[in-house]
Every structure is written in C-alpha cells, then in structure tokens.
Amino acid sequence: MRRDQPLFKGLRSFLSYLETQGQLVRIREPVSVVHEITEIHRRVLQRNGPALLFESPIKADGAASGMPVLVNLFGTRERVAWGLGVDPEHLPVLGQALAELSEPEPPHSLADAMAKLPLARGIMAMRPKSIDTPPVHDIVWRDDSIDLTRLPVQVCWPGEPAPLVTWPMVVTRPPDDETDANVNVGVYRMQVLDRDRLILRWLAHRGGARHHHLWKARGLDMPVAIAIGADPAMMLTAALPLPETLSEFRFAGLLRGARLPLARCISVPLMVPAEAEIVIEGTVSPDETAPEGPFGDHTGYYNAVENFPVMRVSAITMRWKPTYFSTFTGRPPDEPSRIGEVFNELLVPLVRKRIPEIVDLWLPPEACSYRIAVASISKRYPGQARRVMLALWSMLPQLTYTKFLILVDPDIDVRNWSDVMWAIATRSDPSRDLVTLTDTPIDYLDFASPKPGLGGKVGIDATTKLPPETDREWGRVLDMDEAVVARVSELWQRLGLPSDFESTEKQQ
C-alpha cells in the first residue's frame, strides 16, 4: 500500500512533523477545559487552522494541570490524509487499496500478480508485535493513586453534567479469545463519574456493545482498556467503519506499513498501543449502569439522558509527560465531520466495487455525515435507481442509517447542491419517484425519529427516466455548441470584460 509520509511511531512524532509543516500552534496562556478550549477550537477549525496544543490548561476543578491538552489534530483534510500515511491527492489510491482488501480478487495475469505484491506485503505487516517495556508504562497509578480527576478532561458545552472523554480508543474482546484478531477498537464517549468510574456510551450495533452482550450472557465482568493518544493511523483506524472480521490493530499496521507495537495491560487481559499517551484499564459489569448526559452531539443538539454501562477503573498508565488528546462534537463543521469527509473519499471505491454502476457518492457533512447521501449512477435500464437505493441502504452500517438518499445521473456533480437540486426539480416527480420505508433501523441518536432506533427512509430518483418509467418524451439538456465556446474564449480578452467571467464552469 502506498505510503507518502514518514512512519509516525506515536502521537509525539506526528506532532513534531506537524510543527515542521507549520501545522501546530502551542498555546502557553492558561485556558480552562470548561468551554474555553471548545470555543477556541471551534473558531480555529472553521478557518481550517492548525492543531492546538494547550500547554497550561485549567482543569474542571479550577486547578492548573501539568498535562497539556491537544485538540484539532484532524481538523483539516490534509492532516487526516497525513495521519493515514498519504498525501491528500493520493487518497483515491488508498481508497482503491481498501476496496481490494475488503473483497480481494485473484490475479488475472503475471503483471496483475506483481501489481498486487505491495498489498500482499502490507497484509504481512498487519500482525502486531508485543513490547515488554512499553513507554505507556512509564507511570502507573493503582489502588489509591487512581484518580480520573487528575486528567484535564474537557467539559465542552454549557449544561453538560460532567467532564467527557471525547476520543477514547476503547479496546474490547469476546470471552475466551485473547488473540488480537477479534479485538475491537472503537471510539465511544465516556462520562467521568468520579475518581475511578466512567460511563461508556456505546450503541447496540457497535463492536464494544456486541462484546459486552457476550460477557453479560455469561454473567461476567468484561475487561476494557481505554487508550488516549497514539500514532495517527491507529487513532483514525479506531474511527473507521471496518468490517467486524478485520481487527483495527491489524488494519493500523497495514496503514503504517509496519507491525503495530502493542503492550499487555497490567490489570486486565488486553493489549493496547505501546506508544499510547495514556491508558485507563478496568472492567464493565454485566448489569451496573448509570444515567449518561446530556452532552452535545454531532447533530448540533444535546442528547437525552439515558442509562449506559459503568466502567470501574483498576489501573491508569501513561508515558512520561503525557499529552491528553481531546476534541468536541457539535453541529458541523467539527473535527469528526472533517474526518468524515476524508472517509467519504475512501468509501467510494468500496461502494463502486460492490455496486459497479455507481459513479460517485457524497455524504454531505452538513447533514451530520451520513443522514443524507447523494449518488450518481450510470443508468442502463428502468428500475435501476430503485435497485441501487435498496442495495445502498443494506450495504454498510453508515448507509443503513441514511434517511434521505438521492440518485442522479453522471452529468450531475453530487457535491454541488445547485446541480442536485436542479436534478430533483427537473427529473423527478413525487407520484412516481419516491421510495419510502418505515420502521427501519435508524441512528439511535436521531431524536427526530418516531421511535428510538426505528424510523423512515426516503429515496428520490432524480435520474433520467427510461420507458416504461415514463410515457412522455424526455427533454434534451441545453448545451452550447463547442465551436462557439472556443470562439468566445478566443475573443474574451478583446471584449473588455473581467477575466473572472471568462470561465464557463459552474460555481461550486
């Protein structure tokens, strides 16, 4: 797999690289983790600004923290691409490699086999390696020294009841399987209850919740490890919607182009990234829950208060002079939506591999990443748009929760709302071109749905209609003669009109 950037062993090497690129600002002024960091982060992110390292944060209890807080690490498309190991212009190549990995095809010739060798070598690098004396064990808190309030955990929005760990890499595994192959690493927010308890908010379809269900069925406590801050490939992998059969640890190794170093936890039977800044270890009981929230979410609203499992902390380990990694979630643009834009680019080759007639796919970040999708298709037969809609809704978890799905022709730019709205207005009719579903799985966090986790879906077929989809003569799209376009372009400099008006390309 192509790798354009140097191998970042951990968060620190990535920060050093960003500093050389002018993409990291150190803030020495004392700033509170209660709301102030969020507001600074929000303003900088909206301007595509740099990563921010707050060197003198003030904790929620008003005390100064000797632990810096890092935010906006992935606040631009460029930094997300770097974290994945490629330059931004090579994201499509990475997407193609991911599509091949998800559904590999046998080589058709010797040349084809040679072309696949880099991917094969990458797969060989996927198996993690164990480190006996990892940096993350430089400092160990156990027993009475365990105290989550010593960490500079953010309170992002007014009205939130407690500090919230916003980017924890939650490591879980099923019972009777301690291999890395079936480990799940997911990002689930965590409310700090007190010095040694956290609330884990994971939704039913997530890997961590699935593992907890298996442990709960046996009446056993589930071991959990929370890694905060690691190499960028690992952190981004934890947020990727990978197939359940693919371990995040192994996939991170593929992105790195090198085996991921892991360390054995000191109090639970789990492995964690050896270069992590902080690791919180503990267990989740089969039945202990606590009310979580309300907290600000990616929808731009506060979530309702609901009960979720409680984690009891058995140890906290960290590197010397660790950095606490954090973010906020809110109405886009926020950091997760910027990451989502890059993940959208990586998703397109996978979708096209499974549904070949798809030309392009866009998940508008303004629509909370996946609640609206626009896809263009190469249409060849009547009813094809409806078939593609049903295929997309059943394909991936993110698209399963898409409420509004718009299908257009290849001449429509799916990322241009002017194009999409024109297609809806001129190529669709509500009496024929709406596909509606009811009582289907929907995002549990979507309070607009009539029932928690269940709601409706609408598909809009805004493609050109083919008989027998219509009995009418279909209109011809207006288009200027190419010779006239070329002639006017030659004349332009002599017309006395501003050069800004010369281009005939549509404004985005």
- Give the number of other CB atoms < 10 A from CB of residue 121: 12
Q: By 3-state DSSP, what share of the chain in percent is helix, strand and coil, each rounded to 5?
A: 35, 25, 45
> Which residue is it, tokens 């332009």?
492
Q: What is the DSSP letter of 449?
A: S
Q: How far apart are CA 385 and CA 405, in angstroms?
A: 11
* Token pair of 314 as six digits: 């058995």
Q: How far apart are CA 305 and CA 106, in angstroms?
A: 50
Q: Which helix (H) or strand (E) holds 264?
A: strand 261-264
Q: How far apart are CA 462 and CA 407, in angstroms?
A: 6
- Give the number of other CB atoms < 10 A from CB of residue 317: 26
CA separation, residue 507 to residues 15, 413, 433 (Å): 36, 11, 28
Beta strands 31-32 and 24-27 are: unpaired
Tell me the residue type at 219: G
CA 233 centroid distance within chain: 12
In the chain the first and final C-alpha atoms are separated, in Å, by: 33
Catalytic: 221? no
* Candidate list 180, 231, 297, 443, residue with the active-site label: 297
The dihedral over CA atoms of 147, 148, 152, 155, expressed in degrees to the nearest 10, equals -140
Helices (H), 175-272: 207-217, 232-239, 248-256
CB 161 within 8 A of CB 153: no
Q: Which residues are catalytic?
A: 297
